[in-house]
Structure 1
């Protein structure tokens, strides 16, 4: 996630908090109760958002991990393309030997 995305999401959460406060007041809550409930709702939303982040970290489903995987695959593909036909045949034989003799 880029820095500008985090800023936009933070501003969005702040705006949602204000809108929620006014909605609770429009429903009939007094100012103090509307503030408490809108703040409680925002805390729940932010905690849920944080938990989704921690879940992605635990599953290694982050942008950095994906970039690293893509880079490794590109390097291996480039090495494979640079190999001569003899080297490819030798590699194929080694792979077959490894699969036959686990």
Structure 2
């Protein structure tokens, strides 16, 4: 069984999907992959002795908000510096 739903997407994602003849398959694969990662993470935490509840998940989601664009840019800058062989805010060594 399938259902049609409408979602709003960022321009870059919408452009990407528009270039593919079966965008539904791409979205389905991405969402299923996300679902599997979530289930695997929950199973690993439970195997390590953590008790996972819906209330606890909601509480931590509220505490651990998504990073801002500025935080994401800073993380990208640091990763680029590390991949270039130097720590952020340090001059490259020669």
TM-score (normalised: structure 1): 0.35
Higher radius of gyration, 1 or 2: 1
Higher helix content, 1 or 2:
1
Which structure exhibits the higher relative contact order, with contacts defined as CA atoms closer than 8 Å and separated by 6 or more residues? 1
TM-score (normalised: structure 2): 0.38
